[in-house]
């Protein structure tokens, strides 16, 4: 029998190794930018074509390489950073993998021009499929100019797994942002398809944060700075009012390397406790410096996940530093006697409380419930004619798709047997009798389900009707958000939003669905971008599914909103016309059923 085990050829072994390091164009961007930083560059230019699929080029004015080093850097396990195993645990530089350029050369066509200050001429090298095709002297400036062309040209199956240009560009912008944020003292530029997206002058960390994340943070950052013998922490945290409903702009760096750490994020969140709502997320850009021997950065191929030797000390230190910073800048909870500008614009503030309005309110059942004896539990009877459409609907309820076997069938039919009373509790829940009990419906969850199904149907059939705006709103986006907009603009049009490009990173909202309040279109899109950007990646939804879920979540009527009886009835009618009325798109309950026997049992104790 012949032997079965053979050694892989070098080019195949290199391509397998490349899969660990170079998963998409953004992976190469990260490696090349980090190498430029390590070369001592003060200016670094990133040039992208076709979302990195045809070109990723990094030009720096760093130290450059000798002819021998230029040739050696494409060999596997080639590095200038590690001489012994002990060096691996004392790494303070960025690109120390020793396989980055070898991996890039295994799956792309690479051209390198490089020159040291002391050399008269530089060297030019072409590598393709791990093989050096050309090497010759070249006249070039001090530093390195490396171009990666036609990524995965020799691994078509890998190339087919790349996402759309807009999606890949978003990953590139993410990697660029992380490196540029770590080194504000370096000038960075990013040019994509001959259009400059970023020009970041060297400056302070705060200037760099504002350049990258948007000018709205300019006056809303507090300084975090604590130093001990064990570790230092510095950076900025957003004031509580900058907290967003989605996991927004949160950056942790350890020894200037971007990391993802749910553990440290929890430390920051606990520092904000009671300052922001439980479902909100603060903004922060925090740098931790400590002895590299206390950190293992080799936990993950991309080095974004790390382990600390003493996690509890780091956790306590981060939490204390952020708490201290927030306290120092007097952003702990206080009574605020100045009305927020957005509150000042509300109709209830702007419009006078006339005698007519006063009379209308004082005659209502809510007012009586609080001011007259024996009125607290009184529920006004409604005009029976209002219930006709309910009866029509529920009598045909058994034929509604998805409801025939639902536990709500009995309750729905019972609604047709009596005069249905509905009432709103805590401006959040709708209570309605059903059979020998009642349903308690969460108004936001119910509306979210209704909008989700309406948008899902519209996205599959004809587009949602767009109502053109009399006064189109202008959106000025950060380059990162502009990349997302390019990705989703066609799907947004299908969902009723007419948005057109208007110059660099600027868009005009020409129209929105009719049910979006006029003047509110910009706010809707701002929140949509935020939610879409940080959508849970645990489940691989399609782009349109993410959009529909995000829109349903933010357009749904919020808890704490007072609804009229007519609005409540319409909402319940729409809800029980849904295919799946009992849960929200992300699986939370829409309503709970309380039966008489349950209630009696509860009161019997």
Mean pLDDT of 443-459: 88
| pTM given for the model | 0.68
DSSP code of residue 406: S
pLDDT (tens digit, 9 = 90+) per residue, 83-140? 455 555 555 555 444 467 888 888 899 999 999 999 999 999 999 988 899 999 999 9
Between the ranges 38-52, 67-81, 238-252, where is the mean pLDDT highest? Answer: 38-52
Looking at the DSSP bridge assignments, the partners of residue 434 are 437
pLDDT at residue 383 tops 50: no
Which residues, other chains included, contact 350 with Cβ-Cβ below 8 Å and sequence gap of 6+?
A: 344
Q: What is the pLDDT of residues 400-447, one digit of tens each?
A: 333 344 445 544 444 434 667 889 999 999 999 887 888 999 999 999
Residue 391 banded pLDDT, cuts 50, 70, 90 = very low
Query: Residue 268 burial by CB count (10 A; 0-12/13-18/19+): exposed, middle or buried?
Result: buried
CATH number, domain 206-328: 3.30.230.10
Highest averaged pLDDT of the listed ranges 262-266, 441-445, 579-583: 441-445
- Structure token digits, residue 329: 């800048």
Report whether 238 contacts 209 (CB < 8 A). Answer: no
pLDDT tens digits for range 157-209: 888 888 888 889 989 999 999 999 999 999 999 999 998 889 999 999 999 99
State how far the Cα of 413 lies from the Cα of 100, in Å rounded to an integer. 66
Alpha-carbon span 591 to 605, nearest angstrom: 24
pLDDT recorded at residue 356: 61
* Integer Cα distance of 4 and 170 in angstroms: 44
User: What are 28-37's pLDDT values in tens digits?
Assistant: 999 999 999 9
| Domain locations along the chain | 10-200, 206-328, 379-605
* Contact indicator for 64, 120 with CB cutoff of 8 Å: no
Q: Across 354-393, where does the E strand assignment appear? A: none
Of 6-10, 254-258, 295-299, 342-346, the range with the highest mean pLDDT is: 254-258
Does domain 379-605 fall under CATH 3.30.1370.100? My reply is yes
Distance separating alpha carbons of residues 364 and 380, to the nearest angstrom: 10
Give the pLDDT confidence score for residue 434 in this predicted structure: 83
Class of domain 10-200: alpha beta
User: What integer best gives the mean pLDDT of the chain?
Assistant: 79
Crossing angle of helices 443-460 and 543-555, in 10° steps, is 140
Residue 12 confidence (pLDDT): 75
Distance CA 488, CA 547 (A): 8
DSSP state, residue 164: -
Closest listed residue to residue 235, CA positions, set 249, 247, 253, 262? 253
Banded pLDDT at 50 (limits 50, 70, 90): very high
- Residue (of 379, 37, 335, 22) closest to 180 by Cα position: 37
> pLDDT tens for residues 515-566?
777 777 888 888 888 777 766 454 567 778 888 888 888 788 888 889 999 9
The per-residue pLDDT for 384 is: 44
């Amino acid at each position: 029998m012949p032997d079965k085990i053979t050694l892989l050829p070098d080019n195949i072994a290199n391509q397998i190794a490349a899969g660990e390091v170079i998963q998409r164009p953004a992976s190469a961007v990260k490696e090349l930018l980090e190498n430029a930083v390590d070369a001592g560059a003060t200016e670094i230019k990133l040039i992208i074509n076709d979302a990195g699929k045809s070109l990723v080029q990094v030009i720096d004015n760093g130290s450059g390489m000798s002819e021998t080093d230029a040739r050696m850097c494409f060999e596997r396990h080639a590095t200038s950073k590690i001489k012994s195993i002990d060096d691996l645990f004392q790494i303070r530089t960025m690109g120390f993998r020793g396989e980055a350029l070898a991996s890039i050369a295994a799956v792309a066509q690479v051209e390198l021009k490089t020159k040291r200050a002391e050399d008269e001429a530089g060297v030019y090298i072409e590598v393709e499929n791990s093989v050096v095709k050309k090497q010759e002297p070249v006249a070039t400036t001090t530093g390195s100019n490396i171009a990666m062309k036609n990524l995965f040209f020799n691994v078509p199956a890998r190339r087919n797994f790349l996402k759309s240009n807009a999606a890949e560009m978003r990953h590139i912008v993410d990697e660029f942002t992380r490196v540029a944020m770590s080194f504000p003292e370096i000038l960075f530029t990013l040019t994509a398809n001959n259009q400059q997206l970023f020009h970041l002058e060297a400056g302070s960390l705060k200037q760099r944060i504002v350049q990258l994340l948007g000018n709205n943070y300019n006056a809303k950052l507090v300084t975090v700075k604590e130093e001990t013998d064990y570790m230092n922490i510095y950076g900025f945290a957003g004031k509580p009012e900058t907290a967003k409903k989605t996991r927004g702009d949160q950056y942790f760096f350890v020894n200037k390397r971007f990391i993802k750490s749910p553990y440290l994020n929890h430390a920051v969140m606990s520092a904000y406790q009671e300052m922001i709502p439980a479902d909100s997320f603060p903004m922060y850009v925090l740098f931790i410096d400590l002895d590299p021997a206390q950190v293992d950065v080799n936990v993950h191929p991309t080095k974004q996940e790390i382990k600390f030797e003493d996690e509890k000390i780091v956790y306590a230190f981060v939490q204390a530093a952020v708490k201290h910073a927030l306290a120092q800048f007097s952003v702990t909870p206080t009574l605020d006697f100045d009305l927020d500008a957005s509150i000042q614009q509300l109709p209830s503030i702007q419009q006078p409380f006339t005698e007519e309005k006063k009379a209308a309110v004082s005659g209502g059942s809510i007012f009586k419930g609080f001011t007259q004896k024996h009125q607290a539990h009184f529920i006004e009877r409604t005009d029976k004619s209002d219930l006709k459409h309910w009866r029509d609907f529920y009598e045909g309820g058994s034929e509604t798709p998805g409801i025939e076997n639902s536990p709500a069938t009995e309750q729905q039919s019972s609604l047709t047997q009596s005069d249905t009373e509905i009432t709103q509790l805590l401006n959040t829940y709708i209570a309605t009798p059903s059979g020998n009990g009642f349903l308690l419906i969460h108004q936001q969850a119910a509306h979210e389900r209704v909008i989700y199904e309406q948008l899902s149907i519209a996205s599959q059939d004809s587009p949602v009707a767009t109502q053109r705006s009399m006064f189109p709103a202008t959106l000025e986006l950060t380059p990162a958000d502009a990349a997302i907009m390019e990705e989703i603009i066609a799907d947004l049009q299908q969902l009723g939003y007419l948005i057109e490009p208007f110059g660099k990173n600027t868009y005009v909202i020409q129209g929105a669905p009719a049910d979006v309040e006029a003047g509110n279109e910009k706010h809707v899109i701002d929140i949509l971008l935020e939610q879409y950007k940080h959508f849970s990646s645990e489940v691989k939804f399609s782009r349109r599914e993410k959009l529909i879920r995000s829109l349903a979540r933010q357009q749904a009527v919020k808890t704490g909103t007072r609804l009229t009886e007519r609005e409540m009835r319409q909402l319940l009618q729409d809800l029980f016309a849904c295919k799946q009325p009992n849960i929200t798109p992300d699986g939370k309950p829409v309503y709970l059923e309380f039966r008489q026997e349950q209630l009696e049992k509860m009161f019997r104790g």
